[in-house]
Amino acid sequence: MSKLPRRVWIVAVVLTLCIGGGATAWWLLRAPAPYSLRDTPEVDVTVRAEKSTYPDVDEVAREAELVIKAYVQRLESGDPVDIARLGTPWYTGKEQAAKELISRYGTHADAPVEAVVFDPVVPNQAAVSLQFAGGRQQRLDLTRDDGVWWLDLGTGDPMNP
């Protein structure tokens, strides 16, 4: 059996490093969500996918977990500006919508919350049911844009003028 020339090995190694390095660079350079959980207040939110035969719902639940927990945290802190920042960027009236959400659900956000993510009917959109202590429920609609999940707050959906 003949040995491969040294040049072939060098080219193979360089190609492997370039391809692997490019994938790693893409992963590191892609924009993270423009929001995060804060140190306080602490929140107790369990996010799970509804039982489904479609694997998409598990992936959507994992991807949307951060925005769901950030929402409950901002809801508990009672700051409509912070909640509005979690809203879909192109919507208008987000602060007013956030004030209404705080008024309706804010007092329930300090106890454990269960979030159930439903099968996505339309790509890049998701529905979530929040179950607060005491039986209070809320439905959230989410939209994914450029890999980031946002709350559908306010009005102005460009798809529904």
Q: What is the pLDDT of residue 10?
A: 65
Q: What is the pLDDT of residue 52?
A: 83
CATH class of 45-151: alpha beta
> With a threshold of 0.85, does the pTM exceed it?
no
Q: What is the pLDDT of residue 28?
A: 38
Distances (CA, A) of 5 to 10, 12, 13, 19, 144: 9, 11, 13, 22, 49
Chain position carrying tokens 């959230």: 140
- DSSP type of residue 40: S
Sheet of strand 148-151, all strands in order from the earlier edge strand to the far edge = 45-49, 113-117, 125-131, 137-145, 148-151
Please give the chain's pLDDT, 161 residues, in tens.
456 666 655 655 555 544 544 443 333 344 578 899 999 999 999 999 999 877 789 999 999 999 999 999 999 999 999 999 999 999 889 999 999 999 999 999 999 999 999 988 888 999 999 999 989 999 999 999 999 999 999 876 555 44
Q: What is the pLDDT of residue 157?
A: 57
Tokens of 42: 């602490």
Q: What is the pLDDT of residue 23?
A: 41
